[in-house]
Chain A
Amino acid sequence: MNGRRVLRMTLTTFLAMVLLVVLWEGYKWVGQQTGDRVPGTDIELRVTTDDLTMPHAKDILAELVSDIRDGRNTLPMSVYLLKKAWFTLQEAAIGFFLGLTVGLALAVLMLRWRVVERGLLPWINVSQTIPLIALAPIIVTWGRINDLPDLFSISLIAAYLTFFPVAVSALRGLQSPNVADVELMRSYAASWGTTLFKLRLPAARAYLFPAFKIAATLSVVGAIVGEISIGTKTGLGRAILEFAQRYAVFPERLYASVIGAAALGLSVFGLVSLVERIFTGRTREVVA
């Protein structure tokens, strides 16, 4: 049963990738036939299909196995990206757990005191309208003034993205038990804390895990954006930045590094899904 699920997931993922390649190559082929015009018209395609703008899928894939210089060594591109991703993963992981802790703590505070909910919730929403690119240099400057490693500053940037879905979903989940369930705990003279652990938290699981999955992917996004905006020496973000600057020479390399970033995002998503299966066992998600 479990094995079949995994098989189905793998198959769907594979099919989705094939579809993406087919669309990519199809668009490119049509553009090449019509001289970058919408077929049968004079309207120019917004994205041209030459090899610089849209390299062939096979060239991008080939790039993943071809060699690249890393300092004094030469490595296959995929190994190179894996090394870079390892740094990004560390930043993302710290950011994820930090955001998770802060998000959960905020949710519990808002649950406990209505005033806190009313005062804090609008600010939590506003926090996500501040562009990350603007925030990143500020956080890094603070970090450097206080002698914190850049890795930690980048984690903070990732945490800034991840705490939000966790806080919002956790609050909804903690408030999800119906009046009768809460009254049952009350009839047992259960304390607020006991009610939290025996009723509200278990009931919130169905809300929490979808949020954790979003937060996991966001933590990778946050880490990469953080790296790019502060100019670290390593990490996937750094690799993307470097390849972007040399796009005119090696366009495939940028695409390969983007694939690396997507793969990292998918991996953490999968990891959290796995943890979810272990934790929720047979009880299924009830809401999105």
Chain B
Amino acid sequence: MSEAAVVVTGVEKVFGRGSAGEVTALSGVDLTIEPGEFVTLIGPSGCGKSTFLRLIGDLIEPTAGSVDVFGKSAHQARLDQDYGMVFQHAGLFDWRKVAANIELPLELKGWSKAERTARSREMLDLVKLPDFGGHYPRQLSGGMQQRVSIARALSFEPRLLLMDEPFGALDEMTREHMQGELLRIWRETGTTVVFVTHSISESAFLSNRVVVLSPRPGRIHSIVEVDLGERTEDTREDPEFFRTSTEIREALRAVEDGS
């Protein structure tokens, strides 16, 4: 029996407990994610998607329940550096050149200079920016910076990739291109991905499963299975793609209507 990548059991997260501004961001959440799976979280703004992701990544702790990652606590998984994270804003360090940004996690893991250089070069090829290692982040467009940020997250081959609206700030064309790139990288590396988005088509195109969250308090409303096989650009015109998108859209409508 292969152990699950992520097991979330009865998780609740209350912010500011006991204060006037007490918010129950998540309540009674159970979810199991298999290794190599691509799972997307979708739901209205403020329903707790980022909170969910941050709980898995042990950036915050649940007020009840438990999060296990690769058979250990989320905390241990973080200490073992199992996570790669990508946020909505690329969050590159502007005093470091692009290559040095990608090498940051490797530096922290104590890789040698030669190993780091070799790896950052590989990663730059992977995200199709082979000539930009010597540039500073602000010399790159938003989309290019986001690709660097993905390269940085992938550079040390994390077992679990957590992505919070990484393509939110991109235009439609760049976004679709990046989705293709991400899937290619995901297939090549076999990593597990938990991905947060607001976009229905993005969730349908990328994932094996789409988790629809309902707000106040955040709960799992439903889970949509996606069966689109190998994605190509034609997938976006596939009837099955439309059917899946419709299913997700209806779930979201139901959520918005408060059922």
**Which residues on A sit within 8 Å (CB–CB) of B94?**
283
For B108, give its contact among A194, A205, A283 (CB under 8 Å): A194
For A183, give its contact among B59, B84, B136 (CB under 8 Å): B59
Complex alpha-carbon distance, A188 and B93, angstroms: 15
**Which residues on A sit within 8 Å (CB–CB) of B119?**
none
Chain B nearest CB from A266 CB (Å) reads 29
Closest B-chain residue to A280, C-beta based?
B95
Stretch at the interface among B75-83, B125-133, B243-251: B75-83
With A189-B78, A189-B79, A198-B104 already in contact, the answer to whether A180 and B87 are too (CB < 8 A) is yes
**Which residues on A sit within 8 Å (CB–CB) of B209?**
none
**Which residues on A sit within 8 Å (CB–CB) of B95?**
202-203, 205, 283
Does more than half of chain A's interface fall in helix, strand or loop, or is it mixed?
A: helix
Q: Are A184 and B91 in contact (CB under 8 A)?
A: yes
Complex alpha-carbon distance, A189 and B110, angstroms: 13
Chain B nearest CB from A132 CB (Å) reads 36
Complex alpha-carbon distance, A203 and B95, angstroms: 8
Chain B nearest CB from A3 CB (Å) reads 23
* A8-37 interface bits toward B, Cβ cutoff 8 Å, 1 = contact, 0 = none: 000000000000000000000000000000
Closest B-chain residue to A195, C-beta based?
B108
**Which residues on B sit within 8 Å (CB–CB) of A188?**
81, 104-105, 108
**Which residues on B sit within 8 Å (CB–CB) of A69?**
none
**Which residues on A sit within 8 Å (CB–CB) of B89?**
180
Q: Are A187 and B57 in contact (CB under 8 A)?
A: yes
Q: Are B136 and A187 in contact (CB under 8 A)?
A: no
Within 8 A of B (CB), among A107-130: none
**Which residues on B sit within 8 Å (CB–CB) of A194?**
108
Q: Are B83 and A181 in contact (CB under 8 A)?
A: no
B85 at the interface (CB under 8 A from A): yes
Within 8 A of A (CB), among B40-87: 54, 57, 59, 78-81, 83-85, 87
A199 at the interface (CB under 8 A from B): yes
Chain A residues in the interface with B (C-beta under 8 A): 180-181, 183-184, 186-190, 194, 198-199, 202-203, 205, 282-283
* Subset of 26 A-B contacts with CB under 8 Å: A180-B87, A180-B89, A180-B91, A181-B93, A183-B59, A183-B85, A184-B91, A187-B57, A187-B84, A187-B85, A188-B81, A188-B104, A188-B105, A189-B78, A189-B79, A189-B80, A189-B81, A190-B108, A194-B108, A198-B107, A198-B108, A202-B93, A202-B95, A203-B95, A282-B136, A283-B94
Known A184-B85, A187-B83; further 5 A-B contacts with Cβ < 8 A:
A180-B89, A186-B78, A188-B105, A189-B79, A202-B93
